[in-house]
Chains A and B, each alone.
Chain A
């Protein structure tokens, strides 16, 4: 539970303020997942949102430009499953690749392998950005 510590005392003995579960605490992570950085932008954190968006989108697009492979949902090799979990973190960018059938080639050279890792890591970074947007929405972080 995200607000399980609400009203409890921490180790220093001070009272923690209760964390607010508002519509924003649901919307910010959802929009942040779909459009990297947008979870911060809708909470008026414009510079942070723009930097997150630029970093995550650039990393994903560079990965695609390096002929990186985009994993699909699969039940095969554990590394393929983990690759899919990382890729899907990019949200709307992942959906865009599936619609346009991008990143379907085999990993034929070293640069394509770097590209594959860029795509996976951009998705994982977006997961962190989504968690950060949620923390801002519930008031845990300013």
Chain B
């Protein structure tokens, strides 16, 4: 099997799985876990987009 993903789709999947694990392991109550997971996901994806723009600026 050879799965080919774009950089962005790979980053979104990475953010999804990592956010789930971070949410469960880094907070105590269920409510806090969900909130932290939902906070981590856009931070990961946003970080990818931000890093992409920084690299685009550096390349110019």
Contact = CB atoms under 8 A, between A and B. Distances in A.
Interface of A: 48, 51-52, 54-56, 58-59, 62, 65-67, 110-111, 114-115, 117-118, 121-122, 125, 128-129, 131-132, 141-142
A55 B3 CA distance: 18
Interface residues of B, number: 18
Central interface residue in B1, B4, B13, B22, by most chain A CB within 10 Å = B4
Interface of B: 1-5, 7, 10, 13-14, 16-18, 20-22, 24-25, 28
A131 B25 contact: yes
Contacts of B14: 59, 117-118, 121
A59 B20 CA distance: 12
A27 B13 CA distance: 31
A24 to B, nearest CB: 18
The SS class assigned to the B binding surface is helix
24 contacts: A51-B24, A52-B20, A52-B21, A52-B25, A54-B20, A55-B16, A55-B20, A62-B3, A65-B1, A65-B2, A65-B3, A66-B2, A66-B3, A66-B4, A66-B5, A110-B7, A111-B4, A114-B10, A115-B3, A118-B14, A122-B17, A125-B21, A128-B22, A129-B24
A48 B21 CA distance: 9
Contacts of A56: 17, 21
Contacts of A132: 24-25
